[in-house]
Amino acid sequence: MNNRMERIRAEDFVGLSTDVRRRLDARSFLVGLALPLQQGAWTFSNVSSSTNWRWNYLESLARTADQGGLDYLFMGSQYFPPGGVAGRHRTHSLEAVALANGIAALTERIFLFPTLSALGECSPVYFARVLATLDQISQGRAGVNLMPNLAIGDLGGALAEQKVLAQRYRVADEFVRIVKMLWSSNEFVSYDGEFYQVYKAHISPRPIQSPFPLIMSADLTPDSADFLIDHCQMRFVLPNSSVGEECGPLSLRGVRATALQYAVCRRSREEAEIVADRLKDGFDPETLAGHNRKFSREDCGPSLDSSLALGGTATFPPIVGTPTDVVDRFLTLKQQGLGGVHMSFADYEEDLKFWVSDVMPLIREAGLL
């Protein structure tokens, strides 16, 4: 079979995109929301809150974020064992793409980034069709957080068990090449590769966005650089990632760097610190250790650092302070080369409402949006 189009990149195609996509691409800094579709979200504390993974709660958050001017919704996807972590954390987790389709019908401008894996979770043909459908339903607001690997134990199969990230990126590269061929071709696509074989595949309708929906992927290791440069418009930076002048290849700087950012924001620092201290007093080290083991982090034992109750091992330290403190942190992150954040909170409903009413106006005034 003829493997047409050895590599397909964004600049290989010229065409009109949607207005909302053009606005998103034009912004130098994005503010998103990490939806808590997994029980416990990114708070590792036994302090009770309204936050939960159920549909009615999540669709309300999505509407608030959409109407409040946030740029995108990040939706993680994980497979945890029965009972989750210690029976208290990640015991339930909704499927991200199905959730994104439901939210797409209820929102107007916010971009949607559900998570899918290129290894073992679905075929490239199904992936291409699912994302094209989401782009149609959302009227051009589909993105995807594409995992080049699965956390150990997520799914069976030889590909899911591979430990070498370099090999996983080779698989993911072939996966995305097929997807982009399907997104850009009016004809049958056939492909005979090292990892995938496709014979006379075709999808219609194709995505609304041109040349294709936004692709985000984690900046896991030095092995990820080529994959990010070739295929992605956004990268999810982790604690070991580099941004700005330190990020290595010049072309990698053109891939927007985004990160998970946890915040406890109140009208006064004293009030924010009281809330943060209460969360830290309820720190649950076993749930954090279980979460880290899931992702094969180096230090998987229980930690005594109670500040990890606020976001765990997120890329940057939590913000505990006022709306002005948030803006100051964002300006610093932007200066360092970061292009966006997806926010996480302890009590999503209350905290997001405050964020929209008190923080977003200051972010706009600072010229970040």
Return the amino acid letter for 369. L
- The answer to whether residue 3 sits within a structural domain is no
SS3 322: coil
More confident residue, 320 or 121: 320
How many residues belong to the chain?
369
- Predicted confidence at residue 8, as pLDDT, reads 43
- Predicted confidence at residue 98, as pLDDT, reads 96
Q: Concatenated DSSP letters for 296-308?
A: T-S--SPP--GGG
Q: What is the DSSP letter of 150?
A: -
Using the structure block, give the residue that is written with the tokens 């440069």: 229
* Domain count of the fold of the chain: 1
More confident residue, 258 or 48: 258
Q: Please give the residue range of the domain that contains residue 223.
A: 10-365
**pLDDT bracket for residue 84 (50, 70, 90):** low
More confident residue, 166 or 256: 256
Across the chain, mean pLDDT equals 84
- The answer to whether residue 4 sits within a structural domain is no
Task: Give the burial class of 171: count Cβ atoms within 10 A of its Cβ; 0-12 exposed, 13-18 middle, 19 or more buried.
Answer: buried
Instruction: Find out whether 183 and 208 touch, Cβ atoms under 8 Å.
Output: no
- The answer to whether residue 310 sits within a structural domain is yes
pLDDT at 107 over 70: yes
Return the amino acid letter for 54. R
- The answer to whether residue 214 sits within a structural domain is yes
- Predicted confidence at residue 174, as pLDDT, reads 94
Question: What digits encode the pLDDT tens for the residues 120-153?
Answer: 788 999 999 999 999 999 999 999 999 886 644 4
Q: Which of 147-156, 335-344, 353-362 has the lowest mean pLDDT?
A: 147-156
Q: Which residues contact 170 (CB under 8 A, 6 or more apart)?
A: 194, 195
**pLDDT bracket for residue 160 (50, 70, 90):** very low
- Predicted confidence at residue 298, as pLDDT, reads 47
Buried b (16+ CB within 10 A) or exposed e, 334-369: beebbbbbbbbbbbbbebbebbbeebbebbeebebb
**pLDDT bracket for residue 62 (50, 70, 90):** very high
Tell me phi and psi for residue 213, to 5 degrees.
-60, 160
What average pLDDT does range 158-186 have in this prediction?
80
Separation between Cα atoms, residue 269 and residue 272, nearest integer Å = 5
What average pLDDT does range 30-48 have in this prediction?
87
What average pLDDT does range 75-92 have in this prediction?
69
**pLDDT bracket for residue 369 (50, 70, 90):** confident
Q: Within a 10 A sphere around the Cβ of 211, how many other Cβ atoms? A: 17
Pairing of strands 256-265, 340-344: parallel
What average pLDDT does range 327-340 have in this prediction?
94
- The answer to whether residue 2 sits within a structural domain is no
- Predicted confidence at residue 177, as pLDDT, reads 95
- Predicted confidence at residue 166, as pLDDT, reads 74
**pLDDT bracket for residue 11 (50, 70, 90):** very low
Query: How would you write 160-218 as a 3-class SS string?
Result: HHCCCHHHHHHHHHHHHHHHHHHHHCCCCEEEECCCCEEEEECCCCCCCCCCCCEEEEE
pLDDT at 25 over 80: yes
Q: Domain holding 313: CATH number?
A: 3.20.20.30
**pLDDT bracket for residue 14 (50, 70, 90):** very low
Which sign, positive or negative, has the C-alpha torsion 215, 253, 163, 35?
A: negative
DSSP H or E segment with residue 340:
strand 340-344
Question: What digits encode the pLDDT tens for the residues 261-272?
Answer: 999 999 999 999
- The answer to whether residue 1 sits within a structural domain is no
Tell me phi and psi for residue 191, to 5 degrees.
-150, 130
- The answer to whether residue 305 sits within a structural domain is yes
pLDDT at 191 over 80: yes
Instruction: Find out whether 249 and 265 touch, Cβ atoms under 8 Å.
Output: no
- Predicted confidence at residue 142, as pLDDT, reads 97
Question: What digits encode the pLDDT tens for the residues 243-263?
Answer: 655 555 556 778 999 999 999
- The answer to whether residue 5 sits within a structural domain is no
Question: What digits encode the pLDDT tens for the residues 201-230?
Answer: 999 999 999 888 999 998 877 778 888 999
